[in-house]
Structure 1
Amino acid sequence: MAPANQKIKTWDETFNDESFRQGFAERILLNYMMTTRWYAAKTQKVKTIKIEQQMPFEMEGDETVYFITIEANFEAGFTEYYFIMVGLVDEDVEVDKKAVIYNLSANGVKGQVIDSLYYEPFRKALYNQILSQKPLSDDNNKLLFDRGRALRSSPPYENSRVLGFDQSNTSIEYNGQYFFKVYRRLFSDANPDLELTKFLSEEGHFNNSPRYGGSVSWVKNDFQTISLGIMQEKIENIGEAWNHTVDMIKGYFERIEATDAPIDDIQDVPSFAFVSPEELKSDFRLLIADDVLTKVEKMAQRVAEMHIALFSNRVETQFNPIPFNGDYTVWLKNRIIYQLNARFILVDENIEKLTGLAQEYAQLFVNHRADITNRFLAFEENRLNSCRIRIHGDLHLGQILMTEDDDFYIIDYEGEPESTIRDRKVKQTPLKDVAGMLRSFHYAVYAVIFDKNNKFQLSQEALFEAGEKYYRAIAAVFLNKYVTTAMSENLDIGYESEIKYLLKYHLLEKAVYEIGYELKSRPDWVIIPLTGIKQIFED
C-alpha cells in the first residue's frame, strides 16, 4: 500500500513517469531481453538503453498496452532498435512464464508487467484493429493498421496462440488460418518481407507465397515508416523443403549401397549444364528417383515464377527492372570484400580448432586469399546485358515449404540477416537467388555425408564422388527448368554465358557468407561451405 501522503498512481501515470521509464529500460527491460531468443546482441555490452518512442493502445476495460521501441547503444559503437508491446495485468492472471517482464509494486500499482503478445485479450484487440484499419496517432507519430486482400472478408476473431518457435521474430497464429509475424528488431525503413509479400500477393499475383493479410507500421514525423509486423495467410504444409531434400539424398546413397552400383559408372553431368530429367541415363534416374526430379523441377518453376512476378512492374521505382551499372559494381565489390576480409580473419583465428578435412580446406581458403579476392574484384558490369530486380535475397531450401500435393511455397522475404536494410533492397540479378538454391542443394548433400547418424558403408571418398554427381545432376535439372520457365515469360536473365558467369560469382559469394554463420554457430559444419569454395574455385 502507498503511504498516506503519497498519491496512488494508475498504470498509465506510472508508465508515463520519465524516471520510471528510464529505470524500467535500464534495469528491467534489458534483463528481460537477454532471456529472449529475438534479442540479437547478447554478446555485446550495452552502453545506454532507453525507450525511444511509445504509443498507447487502448483496450476494452480501461486496459492500456504501450507499443514501445527500445534504443540500445553498444560500447562497440553501433545502435540497434527493438520492439515490444508492454502491458499490466493483475497478479492472479495466468500468462505464459515467457511473458512476465517483472512484478510491479510501486506507488500503489501492483501487477505483472508483461509482453502483451502473450495476453489473449490484447491479441484479439490487435486483430480487430487490423480489420478496422483505424490509425492511432499523437503529435509526431502514427500507428497504421492495414488490411490486405486475404482479410478483406473481415473474418471475426475466434482464437489465437503464440507459436513456440520464437526466434528473431515472434509469430501468432490467428483462427488457425493466419500468421501475424512481429518484427522484434526494427530498421529505419519498411521491412522488405512486408514489401515483397504484399507486392507478390496483391500486384504480382504470385500464388506460391503466403497471401498478404495486413500489417502494422509506425510512421515517425511523417517521413519514416517502420514495419512492426505482417499478417499472412497460413500455408498448410508438411515441412521445409530442406528436410525433405535431406531425406531424398539419404535415399540416393542407400540405393547405391543396396544395388552395389559402381560409382565410377554413374553419369557425370558437367557443372552448370542445363539438363532435363529425360536426358539423364535411366540407371541414374533410378538412383535419384523420378519423383525427386519432379520435385526439383517444381521448385525451379516456382522460383522462376516468383522472379517473373517481381519483374512485372515496369513503372514503380521500388520494383521496376534496371540495368547493371558502375554504382552497383562499386556497391557489390565493397560489400563482398568487406565480408570476405572478415571471413579470412575469422577462419585464421579458428583454424587450430578445426580438425581433419575442415582444417585442410580452411588452410587452402586462407592460402588462396589473393586469388579469391581477385575473383570478386574482377566483376565487370560492361559484360552484362541482363537486368536487376528486387529478389528474395536469402533463398534456400529452408525458406520453401512443401505441401502434401508436392507443391512448394516460398516464404520469409527479409533478406540476409547480416545485411543492412538498405542493402537488402538493392536490386540484383535473380540468379543470386538461384545460386542460393544451388548452394542449398550442395549443402544438403554434405549435411547427409557428414551426419554421424548415417551409417553408410561407402568410404568418405566414394560418398564425395557420388554426392558430387548427384549435386551436379540436380543442379542441372533445376537450372534447365528455371531458365526455360524464365525465358518463356521474357525474364531478362541474359544468355547462357552471362547466366553461368553470374551463377559462379554468386555461388562463391554465398559460400563465403556461410563460413561466418557456421564458425559462429556450429563449427563442425564449416567443412560444408569450405568444401563448396574449394570446388567452385577449382571448377
Structure 2
Amino acid sequence: MSKAASTRNTPRPAAGPLGPAGLLDSLAPLLHEWLPRQRWFAGKGRPVTAFTLRAATELLPLGAAPGLLHLLVQAQQDSPAAARPTGDCYQLLLGVRTALPPRLAAARIGRAHEGPLAGLDIYDALLDPRLAGVLFERLRTPGQLGALRFDRNPATVIPTGLPARPLGAEQSNTSLVYGDTFILKVFRRVHPGSNPDLELPLALAQAGCARVPAPVAWYEATEPEPATLGVLQPFLYGSEDGWQLALHALADGHDFTAGARALGRATAEVHGTLASALPTAVLRKQQIQHLAAGMTERLEATAQAVPALAPYAAGLRTAFDALAELGHAGRTWAAQRIHGDLHLGQSLRAKDGEWSVIDFEGEPARPLAERTRPQPVVRDVAGMLRSFDYAARSHRPWAPQWATHCRDAYCEGYASVSGADPRGEPELLRAYETDKAVYEVLYEARNRPDWLPVPMAAIQRLSLPFPAPTFTTPAPKLPRRPPQ
C-alpha cells in the first residue's frame, strides 16, 4: 500500500475484505469531531484538515457482530512553522456494530452516514471488554496478521480468558488491565522504529534488572514502515504509584524521606544496568553546546507561546549559557540511555517497600530520535526533583520543606548506589531542571491551564541568579490535585 494513500482509496485488506472504496469516507467526518477531544491527541489547538489512511487490518471481520478494525491514520494539520501541512500518525482500534448497546455509550465515536460503513455505529474498541479480549488473544498467538506482527516471550505463560478493563489514569496512551495480571499499553501516537518502552525494558530484563516489569508480549506494524504499537507487561497488583504515595504522606503529615531515598537507589540501579547493557557516549564541546542551544530554543519558543514566561526568559537563559560555557571550556559529561520522563507517577512501590520504574517511552511530544539518544542521567534526576516540587505545591498548606527533604534524600539514595551525587554537577542539574520547568509551562498552558501556576513558581525561582534559594514564592491556589 502506498504511504500516500488518499482518503478516497481503499487500503489493501489484511484479513478479509474491507468493503468498497472509500473507507475514510465513512470515518473521516466522525474522526474530525472525536479525535481532537482525546487526551492523547497531540495536535490540540490546530484544526485537522485531512486524514490519510496508512494501514488497515481487520482483527474481526466487519461482517461480524461486532467487527474490529485496526487503523493507522495520519491527521494532517496546518502549522504556522511549516511550509506545508504536517501531521501525526495515530493508532485506532475501532469497533463496528449495527447498534451500540447502552453499556458502551461512553465509547461511541458516531454513526457513519456514507461510504462502506454507512448506517453502522463506530466506537473505541479498547473500551469494549469483548474486543479488548480479542486483542489480548492475538498477543497470546505470535504471528503476522496483515500489517501487524505479534510477538511474545515464549518463557512466559499467558493464560486465556482474562477479563479486560481500561486503566482510568490520565495518560498520553491507552492502557488495559487483564485480570489484574497483565497490563497492555497501546501507543496512540505512532512513530517509526522501536519504541523505548519496549526496547529498554527488554534490555533491562535480559540484563537481570528486577526494577522494571519485563515485557511478555508486544505487537508492531510492519507497513508502511516498522513501528511499535503495544507492549504487554506484568501488572504489579497491590503496588501504589509514587505520586499517590507522596500526596498521602503530605495529607497525613508523614515523612517521605525514606521512600524518596529508596527511590533514588532504585533509579541508580536502573541507570547502572542501562549503562552496562547498552552503548554509552561522552558529551564533548560540540554536543554540549548543541544541547544548550536546544534548551535555549525551547525556552524562546515557549516564551512566545506562553506570554507569562517571557519576563523570566533572560534569567532562565543564564542556566543554558553557563552549560554552553562549560562545554566551550572543555568540560565533558558521560551520556547513556535513560528513562527520559521520570517522575513520581512513573514509579511503583510494592507492599514490601521495593520500588519499580515504569513507562520508558520518554516525553511523547519529543521526537523519537531525541528520546533514544544517550543523555546524562541528571536529566532523569531533574525530572524526579521537579515531581517532588509538584507534590509539595499541590498540598495545602504549601509544604516547601517537605520537597527540600525529599529532593535531598532522593539524591543521597542515588549517590549511595552510583557513587556520584547528582548535586555535585550543579550547572548541569540546574540546566536540566530549568528545561523541564519550561516544558511543564508549555504542557500546562496547553492541557491544564489551571495548573500553570505550579511550574511558573519554579520558573520564578530558577530565573534568579545562581545559586538561587530553593523556594521563594508563595503557594499557588489550585482547584484540585493534578495527576502526575
Q: Contact 1:443–1:529 at 8 Å: present in 2 too? A: no
Q: Contact 1:333–1:376 at 8 Å: present in 2 too? A: yes
Q: TM-score, normalised by structure 2?
A: 0.81
* Residue deviations 1:72-93 (CA, integer Å, cap 9, x gap): 1111142111111224223265
Q: Contact 2:62–2:68 at 8 Å: present in 1 too? A: no
Report the counterpart of residue 144 of structure 1 in structure 2: 149
Q: Contact 2:89–2:191 at 8 Å: present in 1 too? A: yes
Report the counterpart of residue 34 of structure 1 in structure 2: 36
Report the counterpart of residue 162 of structure 1 in structure 2: 166
Residue 341 to residue 394, structure 1, CA distance change in 2 (3 Å): same
* Residue deviations 1:335-392 (CA, integer Å, cap 9, x gap): 2121011233345x237xxxxxxxxxx74x1453663452343241774455211100
User: SS in structure 1 opposite 2:240?
Assistant: coil
Q: Distance in 2 between matches of 1:92 and 1:499?
A: 58
Point out the structure with max Rg over C-alpha. Answer: 1
Report the counterpart of residue 220 of structure 2 in structure 1: 217
Q: Distance in 1 between matches of 2:106 and 2:209?
A: 37
1:64-143 aligned at under 5 Å gives the runs 64-76=67-79, 77-91=85-99, 93=101, 95-104=103-112, 110-137=119-146, 142-143=147-148
1:351-430 aligned at under 5 Å gives the runs 363=311, 365-368=312-315, 371-380=318-327, 383-384=330-331, 386-430=333-377
Q: TM-score, normalised by structure 1?
A: 0.74
Are residues 1:505 and 2:464 paired?
no
Report the counterpart of residue 45 of structure 1 in structure 2: 47
Q: Contact 2:127–2:166 at 8 Å: present in 1 too? A: yes
Report the counterpart of residue 210 of structure 2 in structure 1: 207
Are residues 1:481 and 2:483 paired?
no
User: SS in structure 1 opposite 2:274?
Assistant: helix
CA drift at 1:308: 1.3
Q: Distance in 2 between matches of 1:525 and 1:108?
A: 46
Q: Contact 2:150–2:219 at 8 Å: present in 1 too? A: yes
User: SS in structure 2 opposite 1:380?
Assistant: helix
Are residues 1:22 and 2:24 paired?
yes
Q: Contact 1:443–1:528 at 8 Å: present in 2 too? A: no
Supply the AA of the counterpart residue of 1:296. Answer: A
Instruction: Note the aligned Cα RMSD (angstroms).
Output: 3.1
Supply the AA of the counterpart residue of 1:343. Answer: T
Which segment drifts farther, 128-137 or 55-64? 55-64
Supply the AA of the counterpart residue of 1:481. Answer: G
* Residue deviations 1:399-447 (CA, integer Å, cap 9, x gap): 1123333332211111123311111111111121112222222333333
Residue 117 to residue 56, structure 1, CA distance change in 2 (3 Å): same
Q: Distance in 2 between matches of 1:42 and 1:108?
A: 27
Q: Contact 1:81–1:186 at 8 Å: present in 2 too? A: yes
Q: Contact 1:394–1:416 at 8 Å: present in 2 too? A: yes
1:426-505 aligned at under 5 Å gives the runs 426-448=373-395, 451=396, 454=397, 467-468=400-401, 470-487=402-419, 499-505=425-431
Q: Distance in 1 between matches of 2:361 and 2:231?
A: 12
**Partner of residue 197 from structure 1, selected from 181, 185, 201:** 201
* Residue deviations 1:13-53 (CA, integer Å, cap 9, x gap): 9844333x232243122222234322232321122212222
Q: Distance in 2 between matches of 1:244 and 1:92?
A: 39
Q: Distance in 2 between matches of 1:152 and 1:13?
A: 31
Residue 85 to residue 380, structure 1, CA distance change in 2 (3 Å): same
Q: Distance in 1 between matches of 2:443 and 2:37?
A: 22
* Structure ranking higher on relative contact order (CA contacts 8 Å, 6+ apart): 1
Q: Contact 1:82–1:186 at 8 Å: present in 2 too? A: yes
Report the counterpart of residue 324 of structure 1 in structure 2: 283
CA drift at 1:251: 5.4
Q: Number of paired residues?
A: 444
Residue 431 to residue 371, structure 1, CA distance change in 2 (3 Å): closer
Residue 293 to residue 161, structure 1, CA distance change in 2 (3 Å): closer
* Residue deviations 1:243-273 (CA, integer Å, cap 9, x gap): 3223434555xxxxxxxxxxxxxxxxxxxxx
CA drift at 1:240: 2.5
Report the counterpart of residue 249 of structure 2 in structure 1: 248
Q: Distance in 2 between matches of 1:434 and 1:169?
A: 24
Q: Distance in 2 between matches of 1:129 and 1:300?
A: 38
Consecutive unaligned residues of structure 2, counting only runs of 5 or more, are: 1-14, 80-84, 469-484
Q: Distance in 2 between matches of 1:226 and 1:53?
A: 12
Q: Distance in 2 between matches of 1:225 and 1:411?
A: 24
CA drift at 1:297: 1.6
Residue 476 to residue 373, structure 1, CA distance change in 2 (3 Å): closer
CA drift at 1:484: 2.2
**Partner of residue 523 from structure 1, selected from 426, 431, 452:** 452
Q: Distance in 2 between matches of 1:394 and 1:89?
A: 39
User: SS in structure 1 opposite 2:193?
Assistant: coil
Q: Distance in 2 between matches of 1:505 and 1:166?
A: 28
User: SS in structure 1 opposite 2:137?
Assistant: helix
Supply the AA of the counterpart residue of 1:403. Answer: A
Q: Distance in 2 between matches of 1:119 and 1:216?
A: 19
Residue 384 to residue 146, structure 1, CA distance change in 2 (3 Å): farther
Report the counterpart of residue 7 of structure 1 in structure 2: none
